[in-house]
């Protein structure tokens, strides 16, 4: 199991945490295991995979927040670069404002808050296919607007 977690997380400490969390979660939710839906081994690996992916998402959000904290004008960055970055941010805001409010919310939740498609579907109370379609079409609209 550690090997699977290492392949996903690429850091031993995080992989060990994922394995331990998976075993704890399986222990606490053992009653939810249904042998008719699959083997115990598959259940363990599914729990591990979801836990490792959640850790990976949390790490990515932390990295994004750290990058945003350091994304202030540095001494090496000239005024032209700062102006270009600000105008890109304004253009993105304008393009986002042009989207349907529900689709804009889906984009922000997915890309700024790091929600997966499944988490997004659950939060918005929509079918997964609808969420995927909204995100795809919204990204295409944003790409067209930004170009």
Q: pLDDT digits over 43-92, tens only?
A: 899 999 989 988 888 887 665 555 555 555 455 567 777 777 777 888 88
Say which DSSP state 36 is in. G
Mean pLDDT of all residues in 109-124:
86
Q: Are 40 and 85 in contact (CB under 8 A)?
A: no
What burial letters (b/e) apply to 30-69, b meaning 16+ CB within 10 Å? eeeeeeeeeeeeebbbebbbebbeebbeeeeeeeeeeeee
Mean pLDDT of all residues in 96-119:
87
Domains, the chain, ordered by start: 2-69 (1.10.1740.10), 79-146 (1.10.10.10)
Q: pLDDT digits over 11-46, tens only?
A: 899 899 999 999 999 999 888 888 898 898 988 999
pLDDT at position 71 is 52
pLDDT at position 8 is 84
Highest mean pLDDT among 7-11, 76-80, 116-120, 132-136 belongs to 132-136
CA distance 86 to 67: 16
Asked whether the CA dihedral 35, 119, 52, 26 is positive or negative, the reply is negative
Q: What is the pTM of this model?
A: 0.47
Asked whether the CA dihedral 61, 63, 69, 72 is positive or negative, the reply is negative
């Amino acid at each position: 199991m550690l090997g699977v977690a290492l392949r996903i997380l690429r850091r031993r400490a995080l992989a060990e945490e994922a394995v331990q969390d998976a075993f704890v979660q399986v222990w606490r939710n053992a009653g939810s295991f249904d042998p008719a839906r699959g083997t115990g081994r598959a259940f363990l690996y599914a729990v591990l995979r979801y836990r490792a992916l959640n850790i990976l998402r949390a790490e990515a959000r932390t990295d994004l927040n750290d990058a945003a904290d350091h994304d202030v004008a540095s001494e090496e960055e000239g005024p032209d670069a700062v102006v270009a970055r600000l105008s890109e941010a304004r253009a993105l805001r304008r393009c986002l404002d042009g989207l349907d409010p529900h689709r804009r919310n889906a984009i922000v939740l997915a890309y700024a808050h790091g929600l997966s498609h499944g988490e997004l579907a659950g939060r918005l109370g929509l079918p997964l296919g609808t969420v995927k379609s909204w995100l795809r079409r919204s990204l295409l609209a944003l790409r067209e607007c930004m170009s």
